[in-house]
Amino acid sequence: MSRYNGPSLRIIRRLGELPGLTRKVAKKRKFPPGQHGQKSRKRSEYAIRLEEKQKLRYNYGLTERQLVQCVRQAKQMKGSTGQILLQLLEMRLDNIVFRLGMAPTIPSARQLVNHGHICVNNKTVSIPSYQCKPGDIITVKERSSSKKIVETNLLFPGLANLPTHLEFDKSKLQGKVNDIIQREWVALEVNELLIVEFYSR
Between 187 and 109, residue with greater pLDDT: 109
CA distance 174 to 168: 6
Calculate what percentage of the chain has a pLDDT beyond 70.
88
Over residues 47-65, the mean pLDDT reads 89
Using pLDDT thresholds of 50, 70 and 90, give the confidence band for residue 38: low
pLDDT at 155: 84
| pLDDT tens track for 141-166 | 988 888 899 888 888 776 767 888 89
**Does 8-88+189-200 carry CATH code 3.40.50.300?**
no
**Of 155, 133, 136, which is closest to residue 118 (Cα–Cα)?**
136
CA distance 15 to 30: 13
Torsion of CA 66, 71, 76, 77, to 10 degrees: 100
Domain segments of the chain as ranges: 8-88+189-200, 92-179
pLDDT at 134: 92
Average pLDDT, the chain: 85
Beta bridge partners of 118: 140
**Does 92-179 carry CATH code 3.10.290.10?**
yes
With H, G, I as helix, E, B as strand and everything else as coil, classify residue 147. Answer: helix
pLDDT at 26: 62
Question: pTM for the full model?
Answer: 0.84
| pLDDT tens track for 165-194 | 899 988 888 999 999 988 888 888 888 898
Q: What's the count of helices (H) and strands (E) in the chain, helices before strands?
A: 8, 5
